[in-house]
A and B are shown apart, each in its own frame.
Chain A
Amino acid sequence: GAVVSQHPSWVICKSGTSVKIECRSLDFQATTMFWYRQFPKQSLMLMATSNEGSKATYEQGVEKDKFLINHASLTLSTLTVTSAHPEDSSFYICSAGGGPEQYFGPGTRLTVT
């Protein structure tokens, strides 16, 4: 089956620093990838849609200058949280599309101290 990986699986950073999260489709090419954020005991909320070779589309209320998305190849999308603050601490999950179905990565736990 289709496999999506994320790296790192968890990261702790200091307030004000930037953190990059990678999302890779391991055995298929993905022209579209999605980034979700999940706060504790809450559902997944779509942050942005990442399209290979073009700018990402952000959901309303998501700061595009804070959450930088780069989809430089058909197997890799990156999310960079710039100038992270404690309120950015969350579980970030990516997915890659395959028709109507999406394949989810295992998630990245970000803790900003």
Chain B
Amino acid sequence: AQSVTQLDSQVPVFEEAPVELRCNYSSSVSVYLFWYVQYPNQGLQLLLKYLSGSTLVKGINGFEAEFNKSQTSFHLRKPSVHISDTAEYFCAVTHNNNDMRFGAGTRLTVKP
């Protein structure tokens, strides 16, 4: 079965600074990887996904992530964050049509 580890529970960063949210996965089969953002009392919004093809994936709101099979990682990056990026971020993995497994989440706090 697949699993996801988000290495940082909280990431504080100043506005306009770059940020990286780390995600590692484990699976014995090929996987599909996702990053979601959740604002308070709201559902999940898809930021980006890796299904196949190019390992560098660009998503919404200026976020991107790189799939690294050898390191089993899918880290999320943004070159310059805004106050509005403050939210909870979840990395998730699935295999084919199976259920999706989530990491514990990373709380990104952008300070002025």
Contacts and interface: CB of A to CB of B under 8 A. Distances in A.
Interface string B81-100: 00000000010001111011
Interface stretch (A12-20, A72-80, A82-90, A96-104): A96-104
Nearest to B51: A100
Contacts of A46: 99-101
Interface residues of B, number: 22
Given A43-B105, A100-B94, A101-B32, A34 B42 contact: no
B39 to A, nearest CB: 11
B104 A43 contact: yes
A102 B92 CA distance: 11
- Main secondary structure, interface of B, reads loop
Chain A interface category by residue count: 20 to 34
Interface in B5-62: 32, 34, 36, 41-44, 46, 49, 51
Interface of B: 32, 34, 36, 41-44, 46, 49, 51, 90, 94-97, 99-105
B105 A102 contact: no
Interface of A: 32, 34, 42-46, 49, 91, 93, 95, 97, 99-102, 104-107, 109
A105 B42 CA distance: 9
Contact of A34 (B34, B100, B103): B100
B99 A101 contact: no
A91 B44 CA distance: 12
A73 B102 CA distance: 27
